[in-house]
Structure 1
Amino acid sequence: MKKKRLISSLLVVSLLSLGLVGCGNSNNNAAATTDTNSKNTTNAANEATGDGTKTFENKELNIAVFQGGFGPDYWNEIVSKFESAYPGVKVNMTINPKVGDVIRPQIVAGNPPDFLSISDTEQSGIVLSLIKEKGLLDISDVFESKALDKDQTIKDMILPGMLDSTRFQPYQDGKIYLAPFNAGPMGLIYNKTLFAEKGWEVPETWDEFFALGDELNKEENYLVNADGSKTKRALFTYQGIYPDYLEEILYPAIASAGGTETLDKIYNYEEGSFKNDTVKKVLDIFYKISKDGYLMDGTVALNHTQSQTDMMMGKSLFIVNGNWMENEMKDSPREAGFEFGMTPVPVFNKGDQKYVLSSYEQFSIPAKAKNPELAKEFLKFLYTDESVKLFAEKANGAYALNDAKELSKPYLTKGVYDMFDAYNGSVSILQGWQSLPKGSKVSVVTEMFKNTITPVMTGQMTTDQWMDNVEKAFAQIRAEKAAAK
């Protein structure tokens, strides 16, 4: 058995248990719980020095945070708690939906923030650039150290398999450069209430998926607008100007069609790995969605919140997304009675193994950080029970920790809790891209999605051309790797 397949199996067991711990959003005693844990965390941090005062020579910490679907509330409060727990410490936070672009000039100038809460999948590619340029600090010592609030090493708290993957050990050299933040399933989001009202079954195969799309041609299934007029519903939409959201379909579908070995070859940029009959069968699904009229009109020009709102308003049955969508769209309009549901990506044949791409975000510390020791302490603080509960309460999400299931139980909404059911009967997979050589000019995200999906969805590119473009990029990466040896 390959190592990555073992990692996937371990992850699905852990993540399944996270989803099977209870539901509801009981926040009545949240404040009292938080206050108690605040005292415990503060005491634990102080006691670590033996003299009751945890001190650092440099008390100023600069952090940069991507503001995504989980919102800013958790970050505002956890920063305040950290400052209270470490008297004299001042945290300067930059939080922005485009934070990578905001901090890029600082990084180029050699003056990066001390701590990053930005994933390697973030749109600006700033973390990928840091990985390529060997610009991240080795933080293995953080995971070998004990937690601030319990007698346990931090590495033993993380979901099994995560720290061994290329997402956190990008060079596979036994050293950890990125730290896990949250974890959850990604798949097809739909309105449970609508499906129940219509008596529709959630499609398990691609044939059933498109058959359901054909049902939408019947006037009885049209969307009834506020003025009484009717509009045909679309089968599918996605976050048009951010086409890499479609990775949440692409990778699970390839794994289902060809096994995780097929994905491993792609993640290693092997020749012919993206141009073969298996991959073409998957890419043809996207082409069919567009060519045969299953895509919501105007999708390719929409951003994430616009397409997600349209889906919630009933203009499309499905949208691809993660379980953060409920929190991200909590104030957005929706059809009456809308209830979030998630289903895994369909398979080609009944009985085929289903796969779910797991979401995660990451923490990291730039190699040129001015205050790396305080940044490491902040990272440890984020892994305390208090922080995990606060994230569930304020962001409706779960940390990638073994005991996050119990800690988050009172705070996760039913919608988010139920989305973890997508793991039932499925295998969880992570992206496993091998790191690019230093100085590489290739952007995998650009070549896999940005330069290809939109023209495919608008009929300006064939799936054969899509495969050719990616194979050309892979060939360049292999040449760069050979030259770097």
Structure 2
Amino acid sequence: MRKLKIFSTAALILGGIMLTMPFAGCGQKEYEDNENTVVIDFFKGDYGIDFINNLAEAFMEKNEGKTVYVKDTVLRNQIIDRLKSGPKSNDADIVMTNGAAYGTIGLGAQFGQPAIFEPLTEVYDYIAPGQTKSIRELTQKAFKDVTSFTIDGNTKEYFMIWSSGLQGLIYNKDLLSEDRLPKTTDELIALAGELKEELKGKNKSAFIYSGYVDYWTPLHLVWWAQYAGEEAYNKFYEGEIKQLNPFTGEEEYTQSPAIFTMPGREEALSVMETLLKNSNGYCDKNSTALSFTDAQRNFLKGQAAMHPNGDWLGTSIEKENADVAFMKTPVISAIIDKLDTVKDDATLSKVIAYIDGDEGAELPSGVSEADLQTVTNARNMIYLASTTHFVGIPSYANAKPLAKEFLKFMYSEEGAMIFAKSTNGANLPVNYDYLGNAEVASKFSDFQKSRLAIMNEDAIGIYQRPQHPIVYKGMLAPYSYNSGVLEAAFGATNENDRKTAADIIKIDTQKYDTTGWNNLLKLAGLK
């Protein structure tokens, strides 16, 4: 039987050494499942397990007689399966994982509850000692509406996000200097061509990625949102698109399968297709066959100038002594189609330089305020990888009050600093002065500081929005292609296996013809 981690004040410290004491032998529970014990079903991913163990220890030191028991697994689907199985076979008081659990939100009825998660209004409203703001008020702006769901007509927050995760394009400073970073996607493509020639014969490439994980997809979603605009992009996840109402003569958002041909989708996919197309030679030739661990390891060893990944890469950087950083996501060059006063990519790049505050940069003459605002919004868009890093309390849990107290502590300043120290600079999505704490600041690598610089209060969070039943019941996704990830489809070495941006859009429109669209609405309970 695999040994699980147990933390209890009764067995916490002996001569300065933490001990773990099982309650029972194999085949029996090693803890008491009652209102004084918080059982955490925890996914052990790239952020590691130290932070939850350290939070558990600190919580118990403050709460004598209470126990926190951490059950960890690397199989996140098992956590979701246990959650759905109900109280007869799941004793978790807190579920903490990384994965799309949104489809479980409305399953509470079988357990006599509106939702499968306990509403966390009490936790969000909590003001910790020494603070003047609640956890809700301290939550980073980009994460404000991530956790609100409407069940039976009531909108509540059913879980929290446990990592302020950023996903995007990371560059190797030894191969690419900061002054060459691209402002637009046309510049990114041109840079890839330059690096292809510079690195020829050196067993290095402009990009490296894995053909088994969708780490390029977040970039495509940001490009889509940049072109379409934040509102139109978000409305996709409600099945809505602006269309002309023939009776009023006004454009209105309506539910329609036309969402799949929304302006911006194909333009964004086309950028991704160009960068990954095998015959263009921009990517490591083995990319589609690499696991994500091999791809990121090779990147950190200096085999590529750029690599799509997330802030969890920080746990591997020190091992390889790599000098890497996030770059701001380049603005999709096709956005000029929507601008009245910016007509070419060179001008667009100058506008972005002005927005970035580059030394000596000036706003090109003639650029309107409206166009400046559109490009500013696009430049500030970031992909929130951590919207699937959720922590919630099952509505049928035994120790709900104590579980809420644990979450209040976790999201307090003390808890947030424990998280940051334990993860070498990752942080919870709550606004505390991490770099103002000398001990915590010492844990922030230059890589994590590059993340913080991008995830500022101007950032506009882009993610696959789960809050509408058309997503969490109907299972609407950004694209319908299901023969592996898009990365493998665009980067296929065999030309006959390769897909184009137009192919991906066609798959969507064929799946969601009149019949397919009506079936989607029925699944979502909207028809």
Counterpart CA distance in 2 for 1:260 and 1:181 is 24
Q: String of CA shifts for 1:114-133, please: whole Å, max 9, x gaps.
A: 102224xx2xx3x2232243
- Conservation of the 8 A alpha-carbon contact between 2:199 and 2:205: no
Mapping for residues 3-152 of structure 1, pairs under 5 Å: 58-102=35-79, 104-105=81-82, 107-110=84-87, 111-112=89-90, 113-119=92-98, 122=99, 125=100, 127-133=101-107, 134-147=115-128, 150=131, 152=133
Q: Which residue in the other structure is 2:199 paired with?
A: 221
Higher relative contact order (CA 8 A, sep 6+): 1
- Conservation of the 8 A alpha-carbon contact between 2:127 and 2:133: yes
Larger Rg, first or second structure (1 or 2):
2
Identity of aligned residues (%): 20
Q: String of CA shifts for 1:66-109, please: whole Å, max 9, x gaps.
A: 22332111112111222222222222212233233256246325
Please tell me the residue identity of whatever aligns with 1:259.
Answer: G
Shift of 1:368: 2.0
Please tell me the residue identity of whatever aligns with 1:464.
Answer: A
Equivalent residue of 2:415, what SS? helix
Between stretches 460-469 and 392-401, larger displacement belongs to 460-469
Given the alignment of the two structures, is residue 436 of structure 1 paired with residue 469 of structure 2, yes or no?
yes
Equivalent residue of 1:92, what SS? strand
Residue 345 of structure 1 is aligned with which of 297, 322, 329?
329
Given the alignment of the two structures, is residue 357 of structure 1 paired with residue 383 of structure 2, yes or no?
yes
Please tell me the residue identity of whatever aligns with 2:521.
Answer: A
Q: Which residue in the other structure is 1:293 paired with?
A: 281
Provide the aligned C-alpha RMSD in A: 3.0
Q: Which residue in the other structure is 1:7 paired with?
A: none
Distance 1:415 1:257, change over 3 A: same
Q: String of CA shifts for 1:204-247, please: whole Å, max 9, x gaps.
A: 122221222222343x534xxxxxxx53422223343121x233
TM-score of the pair, normalised by structure 1: 0.75
Distance 1:425 1:484, change over 3 A: closer
Mapping for residues 146-295 of structure 1, pairs under 5 Å: 146-147=127-128, 150=131, 152-160=133-141, 162-163=143-144, 165=145, 167-171=146-150, 173-196=154-177, 201-218=180-197, 220-222=198-200, 230-243=201-214, 245-270=215-240, 271-291=257-277, 292-295=280-283
TM-score of the pair, normalised by structure 2: 0.69
- Conservation of the 8 A alpha-carbon contact between 1:132 and 1:437: no
Counterpart CA distance in 2 for 1:57 and 1:290 is 53
Counterpart CA distance in 2 for 1:425 and 1:368 is 36
Q: Which residue in the other structure is 2:338 paired with?
A: none
What 5-or-longer segments of structure 2 have no aligned partner?
Answer: 1-32, 108-114, 241-256, 334-344, 352-374
Q: Which residue in the other structure is 2:395 paired with?
A: 367
Equivalent residue of 1:195, what SS? coil
Equivalent residue of 1:398, what SS? coil
Count of residues in Structure 1 that have an aligned counterpart in Structure 2: 408
Please tell me the residue identity of whatever aligns with 2:213.
Answer: Y
Counterpart CA distance in 1 for 2:175 and 2:472 is 50
- Conservation of the 8 A alpha-carbon contact between 2:142 and 2:460: no
- Conservation of the 8 A alpha-carbon contact between 1:269 and 1:475: no
Mapping for residues 317-332 of structure 1, pairs under 5 Å: 317-331=305-319
